């Protein structure tokens, strides 16, 4: 499912996206989500710069996004950019397969290995 960032006139196809918005969930014919709470990207050498740069800058324009996560399977690392009470994104880094990871936007906590599959 793609994500629409109309303010930036961009469309993205995240690796994982979660929405809780009734408008996103009620339309079975919808072609895009407009209010995701979590966007997670699995990094690769060809996409990492774009995921960290232009995509993240655009997704920050969606007030619904509470977390933007970058999973790097090669480095066994998860970076989570979590929106704080002031609306700014704070970076949280977890490294190592047994490290405890958390995605607060969806109420999930567990070892990084669970996300690596």
Domains and CATH numbers, the chain: 2-116 (3.90.1570.10)
Beta bridge partners of 5: 10
The Cα 68–Cα 74 span in angstroms is: 19
Q: What's the confidence (pLDDT) of residue 65? A: 97
Over the stretch 1-50, which tens digit does the pLDDT of each residue have?
899 998 778 899 999 999 999 888 888 888 899 999 999 999 999 999 99
pLDDT in tens, 41-75: 999 999 999 999 999 999 999 999 999 999 999 99
pLDDT at residue 80 is higher than 80: yes
């Amino acid at each position: 499912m793609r994500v629409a960032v109309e303010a930036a006139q961009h469309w993205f196809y995240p690796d994982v996206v979660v929405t809780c918005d009734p408008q996103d969930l009620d339309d079975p014919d919808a072609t895009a989500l407009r209010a995701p709470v979590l966007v997670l990207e699995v990094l690769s050498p060809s996409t990492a710069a774009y995921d960290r740069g232009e995509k993240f800058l655009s997704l920050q324009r969606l007030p619904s996004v509470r977390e933007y996560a970058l999973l790097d399977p090669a480095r066994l690392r998860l970076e989570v950019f979590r929106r704080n009470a002031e609306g700014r994104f704070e970076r949280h880094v977890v490294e190592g397969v047994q490290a405890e990871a958390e995605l607060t936007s969806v109420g999930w906590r567990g070892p990084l290995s669970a996300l690596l599959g």
